Chain A
Amino acid sequence: AQSVTQLDSQVPVFEEAPVELRCNYSSSVSVYLFWYVQYPNQGLQLLLKYLSGSTLVESINGFEAEFNKSQTSFHLRKPSVHISDTAEYFCAVRTRGSQGNLIFGKGTKLSVKP
C-alpha cells in the first residue's frame, strides 16, 4: 500500500519570503510523484511531476521540487512567494509504470500575507 504524508496543514508566510512545503511518501514499489495546486473554488491543477531523470523538477511559476529516494521525500520549494501563490497544495504518488489512481496527501494550505 502507498501513503503520502504532508505534515503541515497550514503554512503562513509573508510575501517575497521563501517557502518549503513538505511531502513524504511510503511505497513498496517505485512511484511517480506529483504536486497539484488548488486555488479557491477551482479544481486541482498539475504543478509539477517527477517521472525519471533529474531529481530536481521545476514549474513555470518558480516552484521546484526535489525527489529524494533515500528520504522518500518530494518537498516543494519556492525562493520568493507572491500573494497569488495562496492556495492549497497537494502531493500525490502513483505506481510507476501504471495508469492507475493517484494517492494524495491531506494538502497544505499556503497563505501568503503582504
Chain B
Amino acid sequence: EPEVTQTPSHQVTQMGQEVILRCVPISNHLYFYWYRQILGQKVEFLVSFYNNEISEKSEIFDDQFSVERPDGSNFTLKIRSTKLEDSAMYFCASSASGVGSPQHFGDGTRLSIL
C-alpha cells in the first residue's frame, strides 16, 4: 500500500536556525497537509495545500512558516527562525480528490529545538 514518507525522522536544531522538513505524499494525491503535535497535546492543523497554493492555514502558521512543492513529488515545511516552542512532532498528510477522501499520514518528524 502506498505511504506518505517523511524525512528526517528526528531533527535537532539550534534555536534561531532554519529547518526544512520533507515529505513525499502518495503519488496520485492532490491535497497536502502539515500538522504538529507538541508533546502531551493535541494534533494541531498547520496548513493545507492544493493546486500549488495554500488553501487554508491556522493561526499557528505565521510568517515563520512556509510550504513548498518544489518538484512535483516533495512537499516541504520550512521554519525560518526556530523557537524553543517549535519543538514538536510534525506530521505530513495527503489525500486524493473527492469529498470524503481520508487523509493519510506519514510517521512524522520529531523536531527538537535546543
The residues of A with any CB-CB pair to B shorter than 8 Å are 32, 34, 36, 41-46, 49, 51-52, 90, 92, 97-107
Contact = CB atoms under 8 A, between A and B. Distances in A.
A90 B104 CA distance: 14
Contacts of B58: 101
Contacts of B55: 99-100
Interface in B61-114: 91, 93, 95, 97, 99-108
Contact of A36 (B50, B99, B105): B105
B31 A105 contact: no
A44 B91 contact: yes
A42 B107 contact: yes
B91 A101 contact: no
Given A98-B99, A99-B48, A101-B48, A43 B106 contact: yes
Contacts of B6: 43
B33 A104 contact: no
B99 A101 contact: no
Nearest to A46: B102
B99 A97 contact: yes
A43 B9 CA distance: 11
B45 A99 contact: no
Contacts of B93: 44
A99 B104 contact: no
Interface string B28-46: 0001010100000111110
A106 B41 contact: yes
B18 interface: no
Contacts of A49: 100, 102
A98 B41 CA distance: 25
A33 to B, nearest CB: 11
